[in-house]
Amino acid sequence: MLTRRTQTAACTLIPLAALATMGSLIGCAPAPQQPEPAITAPSAAPATAQAVASAAAPTTPTADRVRDYPGLQNVAAFAPGVFNGSMPEGTQGLDSLAALGVRTIISVDGARPEVDAASARGMRYIHLPMTYSGVGEERSLQIARAIRDLPRPIYIHCHHGKHRSPAATAAALICLGDMTPEQGRAMLTLSGTSPSYPGLYRSVETERPRSATEINSADATFPAVAQVSSFVGGMVDIDHAYDHLKIIAANNWITPASHPDLVAAAEAGRMVETLRAITSRTDSHPRHADMLAMLHENIDAASKLEDLVVRKAPPADLTAAMSLISASCKDCHKVYRDRSAR
């Protein structure tokens, strides 16, 4: 028979796995088992967190290519912390900008910016609209001052991010001495700026580095929403409706699942009503007889498309009507939109 001291020694030497069984035989109850703590390598947790953060963070825009992000297209870096691209598409686009760390957004488009939605994400919106005829000295200096003085990263956009905003961004950076005209032209080419807008190219090619005194002379009020004429605002609305129709047309004239809010008849009707409003407002256009005639041609083309959509015409007929609208708009633009650039 084992003594108590012998029993204690036996309990110490017997493997833990057999202790419960042996304890009943020798009268020695095993000590309660405590759950073993999980063994984690010291570097494992930080490495995992870092990998998750890396996967969630979007790729920073660069100067060698354009990138698309959710709700953003044609994005490129023109300088450290200075990005150019398309207008943010709703909350998705603003979320992408916030993920990129953007703190200031500058719109050179005529459309009213989503100021409150941007502010809710910690970003300030600046509205400095411009035309397709060129950037202009006043606007170049004003954007240069904004880039110099406002928090970065800064995101500058027009509607598509291809024409006006690349020219405005490049011209402003040339003013600051951060880019040469040659580099600016290269960025316009990268962004897809059309040669059909010679005034935009000329704004970049003829810009020069400016003194601090010149830049400081620029207006620094930086409005969140600029006052835009009814004519400009109407044209912006027509441009957006046309872009929506292109999305629908690309899906064989069926509302795409990715844009369930787009309805062809509604977008065509929007174009017709906006064009009619432009021609009826006494303060909306310079009252050129030729221009009014072209606007009425646009109305006829848009009305035909709307009628065909309502009648559920074949996709080929809708596409043909869409081509007539495009041709009519281009004819008008050639005469009036770039008039001051020629």
Separation of alpha carbons 295 and 166, rounded Å: 29
Burial 126-152, CB ≥16 within 10 A → b, else e? bbbbbbbbbbbeebbbbbbbbbbebeb
Q: What angle do CA 153, 154, 156 make, to 5 degrees?
A: 150
What topology does CATH give the domain 230-341? Four Helix Bundle (Hemerythrin (Met), subunit A) (1.20.120)
Separation of alpha carbons 294 and 289, rounded Å: 9
Q: What is the dihedral of CA 200, 229, 242, 77, to 10 degrees?
A: 40
Place of tokens 């064009």: 275
Q: For the chain, where do the domains classified as CATH 3.90.190.10 start and end?
A: 67-216
**Which residue, 113, 116, 88, is CA-closest to 102?**
88
The confidence score (pLDDT) of residue 36 equals 42
CATH of 67-216, one of 3.40.50.10090, 3.90.190.10, 3.30.420.40, 3.60.150.10: 3.90.190.10
Q: What is the mean pLDDT of each run of 10 residues along the chain (342 residues)?
A: 42 37 38 43 39 60 97 98 96 97 94 93 95 89 98 95 96 98 98 86 97 97 84 83 94 92 85 79 57 87 91 94 90 69 46
Q: What angle do CA 35, 41, 43 make, to 5 degrees?
A: 145
**Which residue, 128, 198, 136, is CA-closest to 163?**
198
The confidence score (pLDDT) of residue 110 equals 79
Separation of alpha carbons 223 and 55, rounded Å: 36
The model's pTM: 0.61
Q: For the chain, where do the domains classified as CATH 1.20.120 start and end?
A: 230-341
The confidence score (pLDDT) of residue 17 equals 39
**Which residue, 150, 159, 57, is CA-closest to 100?**
57
Separation of alpha carbons 177 and 200, rounded Å: 19
Sheet order of strands, 67-69 included: 67-69, 72-79, 82-85, 154-157, 104-107, 124-127
The confidence score (pLDDT) of residue 287 equals 52
